Structures are given as structure tokens and as C-alpha cells.
């Protein structure tokens, strides 16, 4: 069991980088924590006070001010002892009291409790951090020490804490640019979540290091020599990547360990930014560059203030070598992130507010914008559902035309952006302007894009959008809108069926009358009834009986067939009286009715048609001559009286099928296709079967405007010498 950090050692750590630190206050905090925690023990059996002291020691490595170190020493006193906030304020001052209180509010952050509690606790964390960044630094150090000692916890709790660390704390450290802590948190979480994978990769890394011998030292030496030969003073260091970094790359790229070629990374530290580009030129001149692996984060820093040049070259022994080139200041920010700004270390009167950071810090700006964004959530549950994962993984940050920040995960589209603004914006979106240019809604967004969503009244999202979006919020909203749209479509069809059924029966219909019949129909609302009729789950005759229980259907023939079928059959045989004015109007597949056409032959305007109502599918339209209708003879309630409602000149196409017999000779199919093209028909599908050595059967699915259009194509085909027979298929 490691020894507890001594009082003198803790004070010495702080005085080493801050000689003016308040030594008396540090000593007082140490003694206060020892007394407050008394005989409390950790799961490991060591005194509880060892934990806050280790947290304070971690923060001394970040060279933080004495107020933060004292807050770390005291951070568990309010939560786990009898100490009150007023006690801390009185003894150590309100600044330290506020820090400890901020940490206390988030101490029981528990992501396996109720979602409302999770969301509210995490919101409090971000709000506390936005008020004083030092809260986050202490919290991350607290989590790091807990992860280092996680082995003493029960397996289930160990797994929960590791998952929480990987999902929340490590990415949050990364967003704040504190890479050193992020790397260790990720690796410790990986070791606990998948110890076998961690150990396997660690062993392979050790074996690779042994096989490559002195490769790291060799590359370091060559880099120093080449840079020095050009008069450039630089510090060069190499390191092996961590197991979690290796595993994540293997997962992301779906490659085996043996396929990795950049396990070692090297850092070149120079005096200034021009020296970075000078070193880059020397390296690129000395060794071949791997194409596509150069990134300039100096001219275009990352969102967490990270600045560096990245490149990959083919170095000694033909090994890929990853290089990071930066200045000492850039290196400090790269390792310690927002803690490296350290404006809060200034003494009172120096102009810095405790816990403040420079206004130009991109990481802190991101944090404040994120807090503003999360504050708009309607409920803690919604906050967790829509932002927890997306908030801390790789992101793109886009803006509305008014400057509102929208944070989205990598791969998000303008559709995701629209739903992030508001569900109604997403549902009514028809296009997007990205940086002032019209683009498709499914275009992937990039950091800094300004996105304006073009909307249209009455627009609803197509179901296909669900597969194009990257956010759970957009996906859930599209599913809800699709269900609501389908329900409305079936209800619309059901209303038309019911209204015409009442007209045929000579009974008045109104929503009020239908509402009174809801108990008899066992439905909760009028829309439920109409939707059920449209889906084929309830028949119009049942609705009439529900409203008028005494009504008897006198339209059925002796053989059980509905008069609608009989009337249509009579029309087809007699050359056709006009359709009943009570028939449901049919326009096509792209209207608001859930209507489809017969699968084996279709139907076109000019055909006498009948509708078959099928449960869950709406209405299928058949030509009255279709042989498939015989299957519905014993289901008269399925027959729906329908009519075409297509205006002349609409140029709407409808499906039809032709069966041809053609000579088996070169060019026959081309001639057939040319006839259809010349008549402005559109071929959807073609299938062929050899009948004999001389003849081939050809089946063509095509779309035409109406029956006249189809007959013209058939007449032209019959006139071709290579076509012996043409018939229309009617199912």
C-alpha cells in the first residue's frame, strides 16, 4: 500500500513552481482534511484522505494555483464528512469554498441511476465548469486517481465507472485539450473493460519494440543530425503509442495489428512557428513523404487550441514515422490543454479573474457555447438522449445564419442540422444553403459551415431520410413523422371510403355521428376509425352499422358479391357506363392516398378499375378484367368502388406489362425498345426466355400515360416483322 503524501512534500511540490504560494493555507488545508476524514477508509483499505491528497498531487503536475490545490485536498469534505460550505468559506475563503461546493454538487454523478438524475447532474457539471474552469481540472484529476485504483472495486461497479470514463470524462478532457490525462483515462478504461484485448496489444507492442531494437533512438539521432546540419536547434523525442490508441485504430480501419505501420510517434520541438515550417522542409527533403498524411494545425488550430504540424514519412529501415512539429508553448498546450493558459495563476490585482482563461481560447469558447446549447433542452431526459454521446465524440460545429452554434457528430448532414435547430424545421426541410450555396440536404457538413435550411409548408420527411442521418434526435423525429404521415394517409383514404359508403346507403354522415359510435366500434377517436378503414382492418359496412345499428346492407348479390364488383363487371362487358360519382378518386402512387397498382400488370387511365382493400396495405388497383380478382370473390367487403381522377395533359405515368413473342435474331430487342422509346414510353424492366431456336418470349414492364398511349405502342410493335405476338398482361 503506497504511503500517504506527506504535508511537507505537498507544499514543496507547489512551491517548486509557485514560490509565492500561501504555504500556511496549504498546511491548514492538509491538516483540516486529515481531521475531517478521520478514520474513513477506501475500498483498497488505505485511509480515505490519501485520495484527495493524490488528486492534489496530480494537479501540481499541471502547475495549478494554490487555491485549486487546496480545493482538491478539500473536495470530498462537504460530501463525505460533516463539513458545511460555511466552514470552508470561513476558514479558507469564499473562492475556495465555491470550488469545493461546485465539486460537491457533481460528486454523485451516476449514469446508471434514473435518466432525469443523470441529465441534471451532468448539466450541473457543465454549468459549474463554465463558471470556473478549475472545477473541471479537479474533477478530471479526481477521476484519474479513481481509475488508477479501480481494481479494488467490485466488477460491476468497475465496468460502470470505466464506461462512464470512456464515454464522458476522457472525451471531455480531450475537448479541453488535456491530452495527457485523456490518454491515461482511455487506457485505464480500456484495461478494465477489455483486459484480454489490452494485454494482447500491450504484449505485441513490447514484442515489436524488441524486434525493432534501437529504432526509436536511431530515428531520434537521425532527426537531430539532419536538423542540426541545417542550423536548426530542436529537441527530438520518440514514444510508442498506447494500447487503446492502437486498438481504436484497428477497429476504425478494420485492420490487423500486423498491418499497422505507424506505431511509433516522434515530436520535434523548435523555438518558433517559422522554425516549425523550416523543420518540416528539412524532414520532407530528407525522407519520402506519405501522401495525404500532412496536416497544418498551426494555421488552422483544432477546437481545443491544439497547434502543431503533422506529417508521416518513410524513415530508417523503411519504417513509417509519424512526426509532430511544434514550439514549446504549443507543446505545453497540446499536453495540458486549457490548464496551460493558467491565467488564473496571476496574483490579485493582475487583472485576471480566478478561474478565467484567455478570451481567445477556442476550447473555452466551445465549452461556453456548449453550455448555452444544452441549456435549451426541455428536460434532463431529452438532454441525455440527444447530446450525451454526440457531445463528446468527434464533432463538427456549424452555425445558423444568425450565429447560433449547432454541434453535431462527424458525418452529420444538413438534415441532422435542421432537426438540431427544431423538429419542425427538420420535418419541413426541402433544401439547404451551405455557406450561401444551394446543396442537397444529405451533404456531409464540415466545421465552420453556415447552414440555412430551406423549408416548405406541408412538407414531410421521406422515410429514406432515416438511413441518411447521424443523430438519434433526427432519426427518432423522422420515424415519428413517417408514422404520423402514414396514419394520416390511411385516415384520408378511410374517410373517402366511409363517406361514399354512407352516400350509397342513403345515410347522412358527420364526424359528430361517428364520434357517438366510437364505443360500439371499439376505437378511441375518429381518426382511429378512419385509419382502420383505410388499412383494411375495419370495413365501411361495419362503420355504417356502428352509426346506424338498424341498417341492413341491401347491396349484396345472392352469390355474396358486392354490387361494386357487379357494376364494374357490367361496365367492362357492356363497353362501360361512367363510374359511379360515389367512387373513390384515384390519381396515382405519389398522392396522399396509400394506393398501389396490381403487381403483375398494373393499371392505366382508360381501364375500368376496381380497388381491393387489403389489411395494412391500403388499396390495390386492378383492371376489371384482371384474373387476379377471382381470388377476392369470397371477400365482398374488400371491394372498393374507385375511379380515375387524372386531368388531361398531366403527363403522369402508370404501370403496364406487355408479353411479346419475337424472332430470335440480332437486333430484335433493340427494335422493340426503339418503338417504345419513339412513343415516349419508359421501360422499367425486361425479362426474356428462349421458347425455341427461332422464337423468344419477352416480358416488358413499362410506364405509359393512359390506355390510348399503351394501345399505340402495342399497334406499332405488332407491325414489326420480327414480332409475331403482342399481348397486354392483366395479372
pLDDT at 476: 78
Reduced 3-state DSSP string for 129-140:
HHHCCHHHHHHH
pLDDT at 494: 80
Q: Is the dihedral of CA 503, 505, 507, 511 positive or negative?
A: negative
DSSP letter for each residue of 644-686 = E---TT----EEEEEEEEEESSTTHHHHHHHHHHHTT-EEEEE
Going by the DSSP 8-state scheme, the letter that residue 398 receives in this structure is E
Residue 720 burial (CB < 10 Å; 0-12/13-18/19+)? middle
Average pLDDT score, the chain: 81
Which residues touch 23 (CB under 8 Å, ≥6 apart)?
11, 15
Which residues touch 476 (CB under 8 Å, ≥6 apart)?
none
Q: Please state which of the ranges 369-373, 668-672, 680-684 shows the lowest mean pLDDT.
A: 369-373
Bridge partners (DSSP) of residue 438 are 433
Q: Which of 109, 102, 53 is nearest to 78 (CA)?
A: 102
Q: Is the pLDDT of residue 111 over 80?
A: no
pLDDT at 346: 46
Q: Decide which of 460 and 660 is more confident.
A: 660
pLDDT at 54: 94
Q: Please state which of the ranges 220-234, 249-263, 476-490, 668-682 shows the lowest mean pLDDT.
A: 249-263
| DSSP run (H or E) holding 438 | strand 437-439
Query: What are the grid coordinates assigned to 103, written together?
Result: 465539486
Rounded to an integer, the average pLDDT of 631-655 is: 78
DSSP letter for each residue of 531-575 = HHHHHTSS-HHHHHHHH-TT-----B-TTS-BHHHHHHHHHHHHT
pTM: 0.55
Dihedral over alpha carbons 119, 125, 129, 134 (to 10 degrees)? -160
Q: Is the pLDDT of residue 260 over 80?
A: no
**Whole-angstrom Cα distance, residue 351 to residue 484?**
58
Q: Which of 220, 256, 259 is nearest to 240 (CA)?
A: 220
Just list the catalytic residues: 79-80
Q: Is the pLDDT of residue 31 over 80?
A: yes
Domains of the chain: 7-193 (1.10.3210.10), 200-340 (3.30.460.10), 363-476 (3.10.20.30), 485-644 (no CATH), 654-728 (3.30.70.260)
Structure confidence by residue, pLDDT tens digits, 601-610: 888 888 888 8
Q: Confidence class of residue 319 from pLDDT cuts 50, 70 and 90?
A: confident
High-pLDDT (> 90) share of the chain, %:
30
Rounded to an integer, the average pLDDT of 537-566 is: 65
Q: Which of 63, 19, 322, 280 is nearest to 178 (CA)?
A: 63
Structure confidence by residue, pLDDT tens digits, 546-555: 888 887 765 5
Structure confidence by residue, pLDDT tens digits, 47-71: 999 999 999 999 998 888 899 999 9
Rounded to an integer, the average pLDDT of 29-44 is: 91
Which residues touch 155 (CB under 8 Å, ≥6 apart)?
none
Rounded to an integer, the average pLDDT of 498-511 is: 85
**Whole-angstrom Cα distance, residue 316 to residue 318?**
5
Rounded to an integer, the average pLDDT of 21-41 is: 93
Q: Decide which of 382 and 271 is more confident.
A: 271
Structure confidence by residue, pLDDT tens digits, 388-425: 444 444 567 788 888 887 878 778 999 999 998 988 99
Structure confidence by residue, pLDDT tens digits, 137-188: 898 999 999 999 998 888 888 998 898 888 778 888 887 788 889 999 999 9
Amino acid at each position: 500500500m503506497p504511503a500517504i503524501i506527506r504535508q511537507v512534500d505537498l507544499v514543496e511540490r507547489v512551491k517548486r513552481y509557485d514560490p509565492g504560494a500561501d504555504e500556511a493555507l496549504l498546511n491548514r488545508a492538509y491538516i483540516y482534511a486529515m481531521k475531517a476524514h478521520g478514520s474513513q477508509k477506501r475500498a483498497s483499505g488505505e485511509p480515505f484522505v490519501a485520495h484527495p491528497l493524490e488528486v492534489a498531487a496530480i494537479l501540481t503536475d499541471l502547475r495549478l494555483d494554490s487555491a485549486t490545490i487546496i480545493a482538491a485536498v478539500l473536495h470530498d469534505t462537504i460530501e463525505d464528512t460533516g463539513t458545511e460550505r460555511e466552514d470552508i468559506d470561513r476558514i479558507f475563503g469564499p473562492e475556495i469554498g465555491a470550488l469545493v461546493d461546485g465539486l460537491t454538487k457533481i460528486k454523485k454523478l451516476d449514469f446508471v441511476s434514473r435518466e432525469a438524475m443523470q441529465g441534471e447532474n451532468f448539466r450541473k457539471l457543465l454549468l459549474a465548469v463554465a463558471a470556473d474552469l478549475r472545477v473541471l481540472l479537479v474533477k478530471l484529476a479526481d477521476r484519474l486517481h479513481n481509475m488508477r485504483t479501480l481494481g479494488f472495486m467490485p466488477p460491476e461497479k468497475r465496468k460502470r465507472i470505466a464506461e462512464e470514463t470512456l464515454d464522458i470524462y476522457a472525451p471531455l478532457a480531450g475537448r479541453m485539450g488535456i491530452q495527457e490525462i485523456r490518454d491515461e483515462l482511455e487506457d485505464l478504461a480500456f484495461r478494465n473493460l477489455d483486459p484480454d484485448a489490452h494485454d494482447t496489444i500491450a504484449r505485441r507492442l513490447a514484442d515489436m519494440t524488441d524486434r525493432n531494437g534501437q529504432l526509436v533512438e536511431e530515428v531520434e539521432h537521425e532527426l537531430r543530425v539532419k536538423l542540426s546540419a541545417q542550423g536548426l536547434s530542436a529537441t527530438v523525442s520518440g514514444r510508442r503509442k498506447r494500447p487503446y490508441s492502437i486498438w481504436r485504430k484497428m477497429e476504425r480501419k478494420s485492420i490487423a495489428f500486423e498491418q499497422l505501420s505507424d506505431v511509433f510517434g516522434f515530436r520535434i520541438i523548435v523555438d518558433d512557428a517559422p522554425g516549425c515550417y523550416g523543420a518540416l522542409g528539412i524532414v520532407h527533403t530528407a525522407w519520402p513523404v506519405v501522401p495525404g498524411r500532412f496536416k497544418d494545425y498551426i494555421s488552422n488550430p483544432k477546437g481545443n487550441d491544439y497547434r502543431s504540424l503533422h506529417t508521416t514519412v518513410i524513415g530508417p529501415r523503411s519504417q513509417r514515422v509519424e512526426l509532430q512539429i511544434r514550439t514549446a508553448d504549443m507543446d505545453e498546450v497540446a499536453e495540458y490543454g486549457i490548464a496551460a493558459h493558467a491565467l488564473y495563476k496571476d496574483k490579485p490585482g493582475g487583472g485576471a479573474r480566478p478561474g478565467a482563461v484567455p478570451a481567445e481560447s477556442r476550447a473555452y469558447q466551445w465549452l461556453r457555447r456548449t453550455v448555452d446549447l444544452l441549456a435549451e433542452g426541455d428536460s434532463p431526459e431529452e438532454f441525455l438522449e440527444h447530446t450525451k454521446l454526440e457531445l463528446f465524440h468527434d464533432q463538427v460545429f456549424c452555425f445558423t445564419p444568425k450565429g447560433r452554434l449547432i454541434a453535431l457528430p462527424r458525418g452529420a448532414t444538413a438534415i441532422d442540422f435542421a432537426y438540431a435547430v427544431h423538429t419542425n424545421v427538420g420535418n419541413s426541410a426541402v433544401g439547404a444553403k451551405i455557406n450561401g450555396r444551394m446543396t442537397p440536404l444529405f451533404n456531409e457538413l464540415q466545421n465552420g459551415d453556415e447552414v440555412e435550411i430551406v423549408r416548405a409548408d406541408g412538407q414531410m420527411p421521406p422515410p429514406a431520410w432515416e438511413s441518411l442521418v447521424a443523430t438519434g434526435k433526427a432519426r427518432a423525429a423522422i420515424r415519428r413523422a413517417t408514422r404520423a404521415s402514414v396514419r394520416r394517409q390511411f385516415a384520408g383514404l378511410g374517410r373517402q371510403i366511409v363517406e361514399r359508403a354512407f352516400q350509397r346507403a342513403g345515410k347522412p354522415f358527420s364526424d359528430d355521428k361517428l364520434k357517438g359510435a366510437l364505443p360500439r366500434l371499439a376505437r378511441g377517436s375518429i381518426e382511429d376509425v378512419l385509419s382502420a378503414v383505410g388499412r383494411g382492418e375495419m370495413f365501411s359496412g361495419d362503420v355504417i352499422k356502428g352509426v346506424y345499428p338498424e341498417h341492413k346492407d341491401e347491396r349484396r348479390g345472392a352469390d355474396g358479391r358486392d354490387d361494386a364488383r357487379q357494376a364494374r363487371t357490367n361496365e367492362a362487358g357492356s363497353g362501360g357506363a361512367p363510374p359511379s360519382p360515389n367512387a373513390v378518386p384515384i390519381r396515382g402512387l405519389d398522392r396522399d392516398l396509400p394506393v398501389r397498382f396490381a403487381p403483375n400488370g398494373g393499371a392505366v387511365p382508360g381501364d375500368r378499375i376496381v380497388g381491393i382493400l387489403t389489411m395494412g396495405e391500403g388499396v390495390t388497383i386492378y383492371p376489371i378484367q384482371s384474373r387476379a380478382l377471382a381470388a377476392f370473390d369470397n371477400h365482398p367487403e374488400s371491394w372498393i368502388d374507385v375511379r380515375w381522377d387524372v386531368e388531361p395533359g398531366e403527363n403522369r405515368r402508370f404501370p403496364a406489362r406487355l408479353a411479346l413473342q419475337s424472332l430470335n435474331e440480332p437486333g430484335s430487342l433493340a427494335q422493340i425498345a426503339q418503338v417504345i422509346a419513339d412513343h415516349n414510353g419508359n421501360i422499367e424492366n425486361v425479362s426474356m426466355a428462349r421458347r425455341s431456336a427461332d422464337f423468344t418470349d419477352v416480358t416488358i414492364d413499362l410506364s405509359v400515360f393512359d390506355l390510348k398511349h399503351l394501345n399505340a405502342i402495342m399497334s406499332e410493335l405488332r407491325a414489326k416483322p420480327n414480332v409475331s405476338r403482342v399481348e397486354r398482361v392483366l395479372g
